[in-house]
Amino acid sequence: MRYAEEGTVEERQSTPAAPTTPGDVAVAAADGEHDVSADRGLLINVAYRMLGSLSDAEDVVQETFTRWYTMPLDARADIRNPPAWCVRVATRICLDLLKSSRHRREAYVGPWLPEPLPHHATADASPTVDPADRITLDESVTTAVLTVLDAMTPAERVSFVLHDVFQYPFAEIGDIVGRSPDACRQLATSARRRLRSDRSQVVDAAQHAAAVRGFKNALERGDIGALIELLDPDVHVVNDGGGQVRAALREVIGAEKVVRFLMGLRRRQPDIHIAPAEVSGRPGLVCRLRGATVAVASIGVDDGLVTRVWMVLNPDKLRFWQTDIL
């Protein structure tokens, strides 16, 4: 995915169509009342990028639909663009959640990481669900990007997601967040700058996969020398246990410390099976114990070396990874 540069996206005064993704929906309603359930995929895609949580995204969509169906019929009939109305309402709900999440995070035990997505990620975890309801896996949902987005202000995050990812004009975004179009343009520019400064270089997919495969093999063998060679000297490991399972409460930084940490995990739980998996659209690892998924790791790679390991152990964030739905 290429993030939009200033002036490269036509800022239409009319409401834009939904993006051409699996969440694509027609803007114009057919004869009769618009079925907003057809917009579910678009709304899930928007809300997940805003919140980093499929569970919260599903709640946002349900609340949006509730507000639609509790409106009088004549009021619904007056809405010329129901999908755009739904995006507007869902985004405002997300804004409220983002503002309140800063207080909720203070009570969260240890680091918070976005919910990792399997390749078939959907809001209801059903592998038979219509592909139009699935999360579109692109750069905007990688762990690396979502962790940077999570550090932004709510208005900054919304401005970036709606403009750069979904190509909404700043006039429309300003109406949603209560800012002027110029202010939203500046917010998106600031967000874009943060991503460029914090994001690792774009890595060739084959190189990324090779580094993850080598990391997995060295970890399984307990080959300390091979691990050291694969790790960037300043590698970071972040664990999200949410206070529900044992996990490091602070980042582990530096190749030697990371190797000791990983080897300690292997010694304590030698029966864990490590397998390669697509995690939020990038090569990663899934760890299973007696058939149950106990951890999912996103791997950051730069110049052939592992630079980041984001490990989610919080069971509430692993429900889409359990073997009965994979």
> Strands 292-302, 231-240: parallel, antiparallel or unpaired by DSSP?
unpaired
Q: What is the pLDDT of residues 51-70, one digit of tens each?
A: 999 989 999 999 999 999 99
Residues 131 and 280 reside in one and the same domain: no
What's the confidence (pLDDT) of residue 197?
80
pLDDT at 192 over 70: yes
Q: What is the pLDDT of residues 21-45, one digit of tens each?
A: 323 333 333 345 788 989 999 999 9
Residues 215 and 192 reside in one and the same domain: no
Tell me what the pLDDT averaged over the chain comes to.
Answer: 85
CATH of the domain at 283: 3.10.450.50
pLDDT, mean of residues 177-198 = 92
Residues 136 and 211 reside in one and the same domain: no
What's the confidence (pLDDT) of residue 177?
92
Residues 184 and 221 reside in one and the same domain: no
pLDDT at 125 over 50: no
Q: How confident is the model at residue 105 (pLDDT cuts 50, 70, 90)?
A: confident
Task: Indicate the number of domains in the chain.
Answer: 2
SS (H, E, C) 200-249: CCCCCHHHHHHHHHHHHHHHHHCCHHHHHHHEEEEEEEEEECCCCCCCCC
Q: What is the pLDDT of residues 274-283, one digit of tens each?
A: 999 999 999 9
pLDDT, mean of residues 178-203 = 86
Q: Which of 169, 198, 227 is the last residue of a domain?
A: 198
Task: Give residue 145's Cα distance to chain centre.
Answer: 8
Residues 210 and 291 reside in one and the same domain: yes
pTM above 0.75, yes or no: yes
Residues 153 and 302 reside in one and the same domain: no
C-alpha span between 304 and 201 (Å, rounded) = 11
Any domain includes 21:
no
Q: Which of 160, 180, 198 is the last residue of a domain?
A: 198
Any domain includes 28:
no
Find the domain containing 303 and state its range.
Answer: 205-321
Q: Which of 144, 168, 198 is the last residue of a domain?
A: 198
What's the confidence (pLDDT) of residue 205?
86
pLDDT at 120 over 50: yes
What's the confidence (pLDDT) of residue 101?
74
Residues 218 and 245 reside in one and the same domain: yes
Residues 58 and 111 reside in one and the same domain: yes
